[in-house]
Amino acid sequence: MPGIPFTTGAPARAGRALVWAMVLAWGAWVAQAAAAEPGPIDRMEAAARSNPDAVADELDRLLATDAIKGLPRLEAAFLLGSVRSKLNQPAAAEAVAQALLKPGAAAHASIPREHLAAVAACIRAVIIYDDSGSLVRADAMITEVEATLRNVASLLIRGRCLDVQATIKQNLGQAEDSVRLFQEVIRLADESGLAWRRSAARSGLAYALFRAGQLEHAGRLNDDAKKIATDAEDWFALSVVATTEAILLTDAGKTEQELAALTGAIEYARRAGATRDEALGLSNLADFYLHQADYARAYQIAQRAVPLARSLRQVGTENLAKLNSGLALISLRRLDEGMALIKPVLEHDRASNDLAGLKESTSDVARYLEKAGYQAEAFAAYQSLRGLMAELARRDQQAAVLELQEGFDAQQRRRELALLNEDNALKEEQLRRRDLEYKVWALTAVIVLFLLALAARMYRGLRATQLALRQRNAQLKRHSLQDPLTGLANRRQFHELTEADGAHGPARGTLYLLDLDHFKSINDRHGHAAGDAVLVEVARRLSTVLREEDLVVRWGGEEFLVLVPGMARERVEPLAQRLLNAVAGMPVSLGDQRLDVTTSIGFAEFPLMPQCLDMPWDMAVDIVDNAMYVAKTLGRNRACGISAVPAGTLAEVDLLTQDLERSWREGRVQMKVLQGPAVQEALA
């Protein structure tokens, strides 16, 4: 049954140890909300956490008789289907679902037909998940019957199906929906009054919060789970808590505590007789030693887990152990042996459409190949990773840019309002002076000389007022066309310049679009003040490379746009290289810290060769934006420049550049890739 996904990466791999804890820990709920003592099905479900095979056989024998009917029988059937699925017996689990749909079954005569169909759908969603099927399909299946499931008169079924739905959404990246559903699971667990359910529910939500980046909240929840499990002396629940604790400690850099949590999880699993969780714990421990660069010990421990997982028919655990063994062998300079273990794992993730798992596994393989000095193999691994990273990078960047732009817009509006108030005050003063002038001219001829003198004085004052108005208007316009942080031009200034001859083009000159790599990590680790300092320094460096007539624009967030008019074609690529070197050639100083900053650049000269079609500026910007994203997917700290797009119409240009990387790979677009200067490992 679903729980924590079989994915890779240090935290995600440790999360695998929670799979059995989460999924078997939620297979059954009490039939009555007020019950404080477990019933027979509750006890079987609790036993299934460590000994699912025996419990599945016992449930088969129970359902073969007429000993239970109605709702208890439905709960037992649901538990059996869930356990059979987790034991990698999808056919047996499907048989349980089909039995629920069999017309005229006397044992289920008191249960509404739509409730039986909804429970069968939930079991099938579990089967799809456990059999590495389509998560989208599983989500659609259980979502379709969600309203009916909430009306089923069983806490067991409602709680478990909520857990299934939450886990699937977590693996689909729908963090907010996943957390909301896990909170409902906790509420139902507390209603059951059973300690191990209450502990497991909190550990499940703690992991979901960890995946969503809410580490502090996740830690508090897992501490609550630990107290509940300790008071109940539940070794299996403590194994779950210890594994979750190891996950939370991974990013905290607390190596000794993480090791203690991992070894504690294995020991608790042994005490509970949970062989499957012991195998998972060994795999996680091997992963720990991989990160400590103790590759021989990591290989030894991972190899202990492989036959144990295979004997238990635990494909996910076996794949994890094989992956860790392969990574250890690569690090020990035994490339062929390591890749022979790793390739089937990647193929399994690809066949099951587990994109998150495939991304993290491929990322680990590429990183360990690179560390071991296998540059060509590492490059090939990074190439296979780029398609998955592109969509995630685009989504994260769009969210970050939107947040930054909203903050900038609010600040800009406040400044413009202040300037407008000053402007109004000056205009009121002008009107007051003019009124006074009219009164002076109404004086009698007796004081003509005095009036003339006063008029001269007023005239000088009016000139000063008009000058102040012109200066204020110029200042207002300058602020509206300038980025307040970096002093560079903003989007509005770019649009005013490029739309001078019409909003639809034509684009002329060379465009460079730069996006700072891993900028969100700078803000997260060093604070937004440090991020602002980096932006100001990058703006300064860009200005030193370019001419006065070149336009440098802060395009939004960590993006900069450079427009270079009238540049010779042979200078286009060298300038891109100079921009890469200017940004990354020297670390940025932040007090006592020195921070390496790199950028990814997309660039092109317009009109595009060879047809030299006139195109609007917004299309030109989109084209270099696509080139910049290719630079991102190729590994960042590089520039991708489009030199030729053989197309007879703008529609053909748009078609070729929308999937620019593919067009380039297929030879339909000519593009040059420039590498930035070597720096220390960038922020991840």
Beta bridge partners of 604: 511, 642
C-alpha to C-alpha distances, 208 to 5, 169, 221, nearest whole angstrom: 11, 10, 11
Residue type, 347: E
R_g over Cα of the chain: 33
Region 552-566: mean pLDDT is: 94
Across 7-11, 166-170, 470-474, the highest mean pLDDT is recorded for: 166-170
Residue 246: closest CA among 226, 231, 230, 274: 226
What's the burial of 265, exposed, middle or buried (CB within 10 Å: 0-12/13-18/19+)?
A: buried
Instruction: Retrieve residue 679's tokens.
Output: 């720096």
Q: What would the mean pLDDT of 69-91 be, rounded to a whole number?
A: 89
Angle at 159 between CA 153 and CA 165, to 5 degrees: 120
- Write out pLDDT tens, residues 592-625: 889 999 999 999 999 999 999 999 999 999 999 9
pLDDT digits (tens, 9 = 90+) for 102-160: 876 667 778 888 999 999 999 999 999 888 788 889 999 999 999 998 898 888 888 88
pLDDT in tens, 326-359: 898 998 999 999 899 888 988 887 887 766 677 7
Q: What is the DSSP letter of 333?
A: T
Look at residue 173 and tell me whether its pLDDT is greater than 80.
yes
Helix (H) / strand (E) containing 512? strand 509-516
Q: Which residue has the higher pLDDT, 242 or 510?
A: 510
Q: Taking 80 as the threshold, does the pLDDT of residue 553 lie above it?
A: yes
Contact 584, 679 (CB under 8 A): yes
d(CA 330, CA 324): 10
382 has pLDDT over 60: yes
Of the candidates 630, 634, 637, 642, the residue with the CA atom closest to the CA atom of residue 668: 642
Q: Which residues are within 8 A (CB) of 53 and not within 5 positions of it... i.e. 6 or more apart?
A: 87
Instruction: Classify 285 in phi/psi space as left (phi over 0), alpha (psi -120 to 50) or beta.
Output: alpha
* Residue of 583, 590, 620, 618 lying closest to 605 (CA atoms): 620
488 pLDDT exceeds 90? yes
Which tokens in the block code for residue 37?
């003592």
In the chain the first and final C-alpha atoms are separated, in Å, by 32
The mean pLDDT value for 395-410 works out to 43
Please determine, for residue 503, whether its predicted confidence score (pLDDT) is greater than 50: no
Query: Distances from the Cα of 235 to the Cαs of 195, 200, 281, 655, in angstroms?
Result: 12, 12, 14, 59
pLDDT one-digit tens code per residue, 249-292:
876 778 888 889 888 988 898 888 887 788 888 888 888 888 88
Say what the pTM is.
0.49
User: Cα separation of 27 and 183, whole Å?
Assistant: 17
Please identify which residue in the block is written with the tokens 């000063």.
Answer: 464
Helix (H/G/I), strand (E/B), else coil: 558: coil
222-231, 366-375, 420-429, 559-568 — which is least confidently predicted? 420-429
Environment class of residue 347 by beta-carbon count within 10 Å: exposed (0-12), middle (13-18) or buried (19+)? exposed
Residues paired with residue 560 on neighbouring β-strands, in sequence order: 514, 554
Specify whether the CB–CB gap between 69 and 110 falls below 8 A: yes
pLDDT band at residue 386 under the 50/70/90 scheme: confident
Q: Report yes or no: 203 and 244 within 8 Å, Cβ to Cβ.
A: yes
Give the residues across from 640 on adjacent strands. Answer: 602, 673
* 568 contacts 551 by C-beta, under 8 angstroms: no
Q: How far apart are the C-alpha atoms of 670 and 611, rounded to whole Å? A: 13
Residue 67: count of CB within 10 angstroms of its CB: 12
* Cα four-point dihedral sign 241, 246, 248, 249: positive
3-state per-residue secondary structure call for 361-426: HHHHHHHHHHHCCCHHHHHHHHHHHHHHHHHHHHHHHHHHHHHHHHHHHHHHHHHHHHHHHHHHHH
What is the tens place of the pLDDT at every residue in 100-114? Answer: 888 766 677 788 889
Please name which of 222, 196, 192 lies closest in space to residue 209, comparing C-alpha atoms: 222
Cα gap 207→214, rounded to integer Å: 10
Position 675 pLDDT exceeds 80? yes
Q: What percent of the chain has pLDDT over 90?
A: 35
Amino acid in position 630: V
- Residue 512 phi/psi, 5-degree rounding, is -125, 125
**Residue 504: pLDDT band by 50, 70, 90 thresholds?**
low
**pLDDT tens-digit series, residues 191-205:** 888 888 889 889 889
Host H or E run for residue 117: helix 113-130
